[in-house]
Amino acid sequence: MKLIENPKKEQWVDILRRPTKTVDDIESIVNTVFSDVKANGDKAVGQYTFKFDKVELDTLTVSEDEIIEASNNVSNELKDAIRLAKLNIEKFHTAQKTDRVYLETMNGVECWQEKRPIQKVGLYIPSGTAPLFSTVLMLAVPAKIAGCKEIVLCSPPNSEGKIANEILYTAQLCGVTKLIKVGGIQAIAGLTFGTESIPQVYKIFGPGNQYVTVAKQLATKYGVAIDMPAGPSELLVMADESANPTYIASDLLSQAEHGSDSQVILVTTSKSFAERVSTEVNEQLEVLPRKDIARDAIANSKSIIVNDFKIALELIDEYGPEHFIVSTNYNDFFAENIGNAGSVFIGDYTPESAGDYASGTNHTLPTNGFSKAYSGVNLDSFQKSMTFQKISKKGIVTIGPAIELMAEAEGLHAHKNAVTLRLKDLKNK
């Protein structure tokens, strides 16, 4: 990890830049795939699956027999772990339910708000070098709690044309209604337009590589909502001399192994601590099965030394990390004042891995600085807030004159007339 001491504020933008390609580098291929899938449906999806995933599929849809076979191939120990995680995720997301908001704003004018589920949702589950069955839990569980009617899951097939056993087992456990063995840009395009095999959805969820991220952003141009722009994973750790360098190194590597384009950053007030963490990173890295991937990510990562916590907080807020671990002798300062982070992990015994799997919080989080404006996935992500109003005769008489005056002032006389006609009728009765 590159060591940077007390950088000037004007250097922060360059120091904190993510190692990602620009949209311009990717958008051309995404547009091409979208246009092809829109025009040619399953045929185009199959061609791009063969091109990108090197597998030819007879059918895009996962069969019931495949789900049963996959479930039989998952160990009972792992099934127990998945069920435990599911239970915690259900508890935390069920607790996010809110009651109807009702108010009589004035006599005879009733207003209320209710939550309604998004009827059709698409879940994108990355596979590739790591089949992220945990993401199925993070997306399907709140979708089910919210009451979504159609839950369509897309995930890239392996070289045998199959989705990972763990993904299929978790999907059926969580109530996914349709499983599609398609990944990448073509999966997002299929969910956007609908094909013979892939249902069109109203909102697409899930993380992915930079191509998937741009594809999701393009989907919004066609009227399909997305959870957030979620690209390569990232972690920022704030630690001081009171932290355990072995733990911190393990946390940094846990994110680095996601992908070569992942980024991890250590911010600390101690140069000697940063050096100890760096030594630990190098030692732990050598025994990791995914060390080549993690090594690439570490090459893009940095240790930043700052003078005090106040400067550290300002720098962290400027970065807006997806995951933020704080392990200092004053954790409350950061927990109470952090403004931009997808999810916060506090203290020596709260590894980011806990949130990735089983603590109950959601791991689908905004990356690339989008935590400055976006929330991570939660129950509300799968719902819409609808407002209602009901006005009585007495209510329209009370509020009507104000509406007439405002409509006339804006030059919208039909608006005014819609009230005036009612008021005249009531006056003549």
319 a known binding residue? Answer: no
Q: CA 36: distance to chain centroid?
A: 27
Return d(Cα 389, Cα 310) in angstroms, integer.
47
Give me the residue label for tokens 């207003």.
111
Cβ burial of 80 (10 Å; 0-12, 13-18, 19+) is exposed
Helix axes 165-173, 133-146, angle to 10 degrees: 10
Q: Judge whether 234 is annotated as a binding position.
A: no
Q: Which of 403, 406, 350 is nearest to 109 (CA)?
A: 403
CB 305 within 8 A of CB 278: no
Sequence letter at residue 164: A
CA distance 59 to 61: 6
Residue type, 57: L
C-alpha–C-alpha distance, residues 380 and 118, integer Å = 10
Q: Is 413 annotated as a binding residue?
A: no
Dihedral, 40, 42, 47, 50 alpha carbons, nearest 10? 170
What is the 3-state composition of the chain as percent helix, strand, coil, each rounded to the nearest 5? 50, 15, 35
> Is 356 annotated as belonging to a binding site?
yes
Helix (H) or strand (E) holding 14: helix 12-15
> Quick check: is 323 catalytic?
yes
Instruction: Say which residues have a Cβ less than 8 Å from residue 210's Cβ, sequence separation at least 6.
Output: 20, 21, 26, 231, 232, 261
Q: Binding residue per annotation — 93?
A: no
Q: Which of 93, 234, 257, 323 is catalytic?
A: 323
> Which residue of the set 322, 352, 363, 404 is catalytic?
322
**124 in a known ligand binding site:** yes
Q: Is 363 a catalytic residue?
A: no
Residue reference for tokens 């590894």: 351
Q: Is 323 annotated as a binding residue?
A: yes
Of the CA atoms within 13 Å of residue 301, those in its CB half-sphere come to 33
Q: Find out whether 145 and 379 touch, Cβ atoms under 8 Å.
A: yes
- DSSP one-letter string for 314-355: HHHHHH--SEEEEESTTHHHHHHH--S-SEEEESTT--HHHH
186 is in an annotated binding site: yes
Residues 139 and 170: beta-carbon distance below 8 Å: no
- Catalytically active residues, by annotation: 322-323
Residues contributing to the annotated binding site for Zn(2+): 255, 258, 356, 415
Residues contributing to the annotated binding site for NAD(+): 124, 186, 209
Residues contributing to the annotated binding site for substrate: 233, 255, 258, 323, 356, 410, 415
Residues contributing to the annotated binding site: 124, 186, 209, 233, 255, 258, 323, 356, 410, 415
